[in-house]
Chains A and B, each alone.
Chain A
Amino acid sequence: AQSVTQLDSQVPVFEEAPVELRCNYSSSVSVYLFWYVQYPNQGLQLLLKYLSGSTLVKGINGFEAEFNKSQTSFHLRKPSVHISDTAEYFCAVSGGGSNYKLTFGKGTLLTVNP
């Protein structure tokens, strides 16, 4: 079984400040990790994914995430946020192979204030 915990339900920040959205996972098998963003009244858009290789993954819109196996974490970071980054962010895990279905966290609402 696998699960995802997003430690913060809401993160308010000011424009141009750095941000980190936290994600911890548990899984009994190999893990593949994803971050999705959901803007109001829209579907989910893939930000980035970790499948293998370098533990630092760069995604779209200036976001990056670091896979830390010892801490079972996959935190999302951006050095300088914009108003347009205001959205809900979901972390998800899959086990790969026949266990390819995604398990999602509850989401973190990032609000960027001027």
Chain B
Amino acid sequence: EADIYQTPRYLVIGTGKKITLECSQTMGHDKMYWYQQDPGMELHLIHYSYGVNSTEKGDLSSESTVSRIRTEHFPLTLESARPSHTSQYLCASSETSGRTDTQYFGPGTRLTVL
């Protein structure tokens, strides 16, 4: 079982502010992910990383950016927050077990942009 930490858990911020959502894992997993989840909806992958200095955009287009300078750290940044960014953001990391990866999730950050 992975230990995944996300901060802050809740964030209320005004339009136009720059924000960074933090995600850290202590299991040494190479792969990490960011998902966006609106209430009552499925998860949509917005970014993922194979390892240090490797990042890719996911299936859902997002104005956010990510970086992966250290294995354990995968922050997500919004340069100028807008009300349309209001959502829950979930971070995950995965280990390869046999033929596929198993993803483990952090507690999430609920973002509200006013």
B-contacting residues of A (Cβ < 8 Å)? 30, 32, 34, 36, 41-46, 49, 51-52, 90, 94-97, 100-102, 104-107, 109
Contact = CB atoms under 8 A, between A and B. Distances in A.
**Top 3 closest A-B pairs, CB basis?**
A43-B105, A96-B100, A44-B105
A101 B45 contact: yes
Contact of A97 (B45, B100, B108): B100
Interface of B: 4, 6, 31, 33, 40-43, 45, 48, 58, 90, 92, 94, 96-108, 110
Nearest to B94: A100
B106 A43 contact: yes
Classify the secondary structure of B's interface with A: strand
A109 B39 CA distance: 12
B99 A49 contact: no
Contacts of B94: 100
B100 A45 contact: no
A94 B43 CA distance: 14
A52 B99 contact: yes
Given A106-B42, A107-B40, A44 B90 contact: yes
Contacts of B107: 42-43
Contacts of B110: 41
Contacts of A102: 43, 45, 103
Q: Which of A44, A90, A96 has the most CB of B within 10 A?
A: A44
B100 A94 contact: yes
B23 to A, nearest CB: 11
A32 B99 contact: yes
A45 to B, nearest CB: 7
Contacts of B102: 34, 46, 49
A104 B98 contact: no
